[in-house]
Amino acid sequence: MNACIRAVVRKALYHGIEVVGVRRGFHGLVAGDFMEMKSRTVGDILQRGGTILKSARSDEFKTEEGRAKALLQLRTCEIDGLVGIGG
């Protein structure tokens, strides 16, 4: 996962796109747990196991209300796109 995160961040930054990571997967999406991603954030993550953003499921996201809350979090933070990684 870290290799994919690194590739997305580096390519987006190359094209002048600001990148925000979501900590703890869908749980973080609903909670608005975002972090700015820079080159230095992903500079040394290839050798690390797992994911620097952590991962978590969310029962709340499975509901219509939870998805609406996640969408509101994205809009509030002016996030225009979302890249989902993993399953």
Q: Is residue 52 part of a domain?
A: yes
- Residue 81 covered by a domain: no
Q: Is 13 exposed, middle or buried (0-12, 13-18, 19+ CB in 10 A)?
A: middle
Q: Could you tell me if residue 57 is inside a domain?
A: yes
Domain count, the chain: 1
Classify residue 14: in a domain, yes or no.
Answer: yes
Residue 39 lies in a domain: yes
Q: What pLDDT does residue 83 have?
A: 96
Per-residue pLDDT at 87 exceeds 90: no
pLDDT value, residue 86: 83
Position 85 in a domain: no
Phi and psi at 84, nearest 5°, equal: -95, 135
CATH code at 64? 3.40.50.450
Could you report the per-residue pLDDT of 23-77, keeping only the tens digit for each?
999 999 999 999 999 999 999 999 998 899 999 999 999 999 999 999 999 999 9
- Could you list the residue range(s) of the whole structural domain that residue 44 is in? 2-76
